[in-house]
Amino acid sequence: MIRDLLTISRPVTCLAESAWTLVGIHLTARYALPLDIAAAVVSMALLTAAAQAFNDAQDVAVDARTRSHRPLPAGRISVRQAKLYCYACVVTAVSLAATVNVILTCYAAVIASVSLAYSKYLKRIPLIGNLTVAITASSPASYGAAATGSSNAVIWVGTAMIFWQMLGYEVLKDIRDRPEDVHSGLRSLATEWIHGQLAALIRVSLALGAAMGIWAGLLTQDSLAYYLICVPLVLVPNIGAAVIASEEKRNSLARRLIVGSWFPAIMSFWFL
């Protein structure tokens, strides 16, 4: 069971969000107690795991038809167990945040509430669901900043960069899932918009993400190391994904280009 619970937690996603939280703490240039840093990073990992597990629990009927190998539709864990795991993660995450400060506690509660509301209510509202995912996925840097009680322009521009990248990625996922959604009678952006509109939204989102990436480096005097990482490993892949966004046969490649840029993006901001 433990292995299956880890699977529905999406460990790589948890790691990425935790790393982005750590970068947010680093970018404030404010001293933080090691225990506070650990509490912020671990609580973000738990919030991410909770969101992923709850989403899988809500999607079990759809996944039973198209992704039957996953732990929930395969019957290796039950919906009740997945939800109990989710709630345990949320309670632990908020409790850890409470050991840091009130702002982080409230932020953790908001992230948890929005993430669960997405899976239960917002996911099938075209565009609103996509925007919700982009907002929560881009929140860790500001979450880390909240742990120190400080913030700055680099953090918010970096948050905007991740937001636009994630929005483009989510639309690409909707296009991938369109046949399944149509078959299941589910609404998504891809079932409501024509392909040209979707491609335009992807291109605009990824272009804005690239613009935010360039802007972030301009906010500091020592940005050479940042650009050496960000331009070839983040901006170029995202621009490439934007170029092929209109080609449904290359949807998988476009998504891989964006996913492959996530960790370099996080690493590059460490040098600002």
Which of 1.20.120, 3.40.50, 1.10.20, 2.60.120 would CATH assign to domain 152-272? 1.20.120
Are 43 and 93 in contact, with CB atoms under 8 Å apart? Answer: yes
Closest by Cα among 260, 19, 216, 258 to 225: 216
Closest by Cα among 246, 168, 243 to 205: 168
Phi then psi for 193, rounded to 5 degrees?
A: -105, 155
Closest by Cα among 158, 228, 239 to 203: 239
Q: What is the pTM of this model?
A: 0.94
Which of 3.40.50.300, 3.90.380.10, 1.10.357.140, 3.40.350.10 would CATH assign to domain 1-125+141-150? 1.10.357.140
Can you give the pLDDT at residue 75?
Answer: 83
Q: In the chain, where does DSSP find H-type helix?
A: 2-9, 11-27, 34-58, 60-66, 79-98, 102-117, 128-137, 140-148, 153-184, 189-192, 195-218, 224-230, 236-243, 251-260, 262-269
Give CATH 1.20.120 domain extents, the chain.
152-272
- Strand, helix or coil at 142? helix
- pLDDT in 10s for each residue of the chain, 272 residues: 889 889 999 999 999 999 999 999 999 988 889 999 999 999 999 999 999 999 999 988 887 777 778 888 888 999 999 999 999 999 999 999 999 999 999 999 999 999 999 999 999 899 999 999 999 999 999 999 999 999 999 999 999 999 999 999 999 999 998 988 888 788 899 999 998 999 999 999 999 999 999 999 999 988 999 999 999 999 999 999 999 988 888 999 999 999 999 999 999 999 99
Q: Which amino acid is at 33?
A: L
Can you give the pLDDT at residue 182?
Answer: 85
Can you give the pLDDT at residue 73?
Answer: 85
Can you give the pLDDT at residue 63?
Answer: 74
Can you give the pLDDT at residue 4?
Answer: 87
Give CATH 1.10.357.140 domain extents, the chain.
1-125+141-150
Can you give the pLDDT at residue 139?
Answer: 97
